[in-house]
Amino acid sequence: MLTGKHILLGVTGGIAAYKSALLVREFVRAGAEVQVVMTPSATQFVTPLTFATLSRRDVIIEMFPPSPDQPTSQWTKHIDLGVWADCMIIAPATANTIAKIATGMADNFLTSLVLALRGPLVVAPTMDVDMYTNTATQHNIGVLRSRGVHIVEPEAGELASGLSGPGRLPDTPVLIEAVKNVLKGTAKDLAGRRILVTAGPTQEPIDPVRYLGNRSSGKMGFAVASAAASRGAAVTLIAGPVALATPPGVQRVDVHTAREMADAVSGHFGACDALVMSAAVADFAPASPADSKIKREALGTERFVIECVKNPDILRTAGEMRTHQVLVGFALETDNGLEHARKKRAGKKLDLIVLNDPRVDGAAFGSETNVVTLIGSDDKPEPLPRMPKLDVAHRILDRVLQLLPAAR
Ligand code: CTP
């Protein structure tokens, strides 16, 4: 996927700049052509010679190099590179450079190039925890995101300052994956496909103010919807109650209960090519929710029993109704995961099941990352390392793409 691709790597002045050398090496190994661009302050951390040697190209730092005989002295170079690049990644990206990009400044070669860039931009914010959590930085990151810039969230951990928290540059494979995913988006390999995604929890009313629910944040399903839309699919997202923005280009249907979700799925299932059922559907609901708020005095004794009825199994029903659709389910397991997931995949007649254990580090409810194992019809597990949910989403969609009949 990276063979022959033109990648711009922007390196800004942070201690993690030394890690970008590995990134260059991996891009080159994968067959990409890499042009490194540094801000002047990045050269305080790593010498340009390191990047020039690894990328086999001159590194560009200054807009107007001091010596006129240098090849970088052509002042329109930023425009040429903006057209040349298939993708640009800035890693590490300091708070300062992020702020400049957010306001459209062009006061050095790197920021000028960003303004001239035609292709997609990936930014990996990397800085100390207080600079990262600062309202100004968060606002600027939000501005970039709203413009379609792909943000690779920093990892939490021990920082160079000795403090601890989010701010570390993610490992090289995570950054490479982000670039690959952005390139998949430009390839639009799911164009013409209709993908139905469910996300979030369901809430089953006990009375008008209380409900039975679960801790699902909806982030995984929203990531699947977002990734599918970026790859050109027509996406319908059936969402339980979550506090997440609708990804660009996605048609969203909001529901509350499992029954409402079941109705929405059955309404859209016939026309879809694939269903990715990532919602955490409540398995049971109070049998007769009260019409008005249940008062404490009315409970009487020490015990209050809620009688429940089983909810429909949406995925199982889809498995029985399927004609041509690819079906993907999730299995949330804490014990004997593989065994349970394989059984679930076969029992619900799924093409693929995504197994995860919320107790594993980096896979908790609400987390930005996930650690999953994909199991297809050959029952062979494909364990994936911990990665951002958007990257997990792309891996799931890669499998879906293989399962879909060839495009007409
Ligand atoms: N699912 C569904 N309808 C339900 C319950 C679950 O469609 N009523 C879907 C989920 O969206 C998920 C898959 O089935 O993709 C597995 O859900 P899970 O709750 O793990 O499986 P269950 O069959 O409910 O088994 P258990 O809770 O006993 O593990």
- Whole-angstrom distance, CA of residue 337 vs CA of residue 345: 12
Residue 209, C-beta contacts closer than 8 angstroms, at least 6 positions apart: 293
Question: What pLDDT was estimated at residue 154?
Answer: 94
Is residue 126 exposed (0-12), middle (13-18) or buried (19+ Cβ within 10 Å)?
Answer: buried
Q: Is the CB of 331 under 6 A from ligand 1?
A: yes
CATH architecture designation of domain 188-407: 3-Layer(aba) Sandwich (3.40)
Q: Is the CB of 279 under 6 A from ligand 1?
A: yes
Mind listing the pLDDT tens digit for each residue in 113-156?
999 999 999 999 999 999 999 999 999 999 999 898 999 999 99
Tell me the β-bridge partners of 38: 11
Q: Is the omega angle on the peptide bond into residue 92 within 30 degrees of 0, that is, cis?
A: yes
Residues of the chain with CATH 3.40.50.10300: 188-407
- Give this prediction's pTM: 0.88
Q: How many residues are recorded in the chain? A: 408
Out of 134, 214, 336, 370, the active site residue is: 214
Q: Is the CB of 189 under 6 A from ligand 1?
A: no
Q: Is the CB of 329 under 6 A from ligand 1?
A: yes
Residues of the chain with CATH 3.40.50.1950: 6-185
Q: What are the residue ranges in the chain where pLDDT is below 50?
A: none
Question: What pLDDT was estimated at residue 406?
Answer: 80
Question: What pLDDT was estimated at residue 189?
Answer: 93
Residue 2, C-beta contacts closer than 8 angstroms, at least 6 positions apart: 27, 30, 31, 32, 176, 179, 180, 183
Q: What is the mean pLDDT of the chain?
A: 94
- Whole-angstrom distance, CA of residue 24 vs CA of residue 292: 63
| Gap from CA of 397 to ligand 1 centroid (Å) | 20
- Whole-angstrom distance, CA of residue 74 vs CA of residue 220: 46
- Whole-angstrom distance, CA of residue 280 vs CA of residue 283: 9
Question: What pLDDT was estimated at residue 84?
Answer: 96
Mind listing the pLDDT tens digit for each residue in 29-55?
999 999 999 999 999 999 999 999 999
140 is catalytic: no
Smallest Cα–Cα separation from 262: which of 195, 226, 308, 310? 310
Smallest Cα–Cα separation from 367: which of 228, 168, 241, 217? 217
Relative to the CA of 353, which ligand 1 atom is closest? 15
Question: What pLDDT was estimated at residue 186?
Answer: 87
| Residue range 6-185, CATH number | 3.40.50.1950
